[in-house]
Amino acid sequence: MYIVETQQELRSKINEYKQQQLTIGLVPTMGALHEGHLTLIKKCLSENDITVVSIFVNPTQFNNAEDLIKYPRNLAKDAQLLEQVGVDIVFAPSTEEMYDAEELNSRFAFDFNGLDTVMEGAMRPGHFNGVVQIVSRLFHLVTPNKAYFGEKDFQQLAIIRHMTYHSSMSSTFDNLTIVGCPIVRETSGLALSSRNERLSEQQKNIATNIYKTLNLSKDWANTCSVKEVEQKVIHTINSIEGLDVEYYCIVDKDSLQATNTFHNAIGCITVYCGDVRLIDNIQY
Ligand code: PAF
Average pLDDT of the residues of the chain = 96
Alpha carbon of 53 to ligand 1 centroid (Å): 11
pLDDT of residue 268: 98
Alpha carbon of 190 to ligand 1 centroid (Å): 20
Task: Assess whether the C-beta atom of 31 lies below 6 angstroms from ligand 1.
Answer: no
pLDDT of residue 105: 83
Estimate the crossing angle of helix 127-142 against helix 154-165, to 10 degrees: 50
Each residue of 111-157: pLDDT tens digit?
899 999 999 999 999 999 999 999 999 999 999 999 999 999 999 99
pLDDT of residue 258: 97
> Taking the model in full, what pTM does it have?
0.96
Buried b (16+ CB within 10 A) or exposed e, 171-198: eebeebebeebebbbeeeebbbbbbbeb
Report how far residue 155's alpha carbon sits from residue 280's, in angstroms, rounded to the nearest whole number: 11
pLDDT of residue 111: 81
Q: Give nearest CA residue, ligand 1 atom 9.
A: 131
Buried b (16+ CB within 10 A) or exposed e, 132-153: bbbbbbbbebbbbbbbbbbbbb
Each residue of 49-86: pLDDT tens digit?
999 999 999 999 998 899 899 999 999 999 999 999 99
At 190, is the pLDDT very low, low, confident or very high (cuts 50, 70, 90)?
very high
Model confidence at 102: pLDDT above 90: no
Cβ-contact 118, 254 below 8 angstroms = no
Each residue of 207-266: pLDDT tens digit?
999 999 999 999 999 999 999 999 999 999 999 999 999 999 999 999 999 999 999 999
Q: Is 34 a catalytic residue?
A: no
Domains, in order of start, for the chain = 2-181 (3.40.50.620), 194-279 (3.30.1300.10)
Model confidence at 109: pLDDT above 80: no
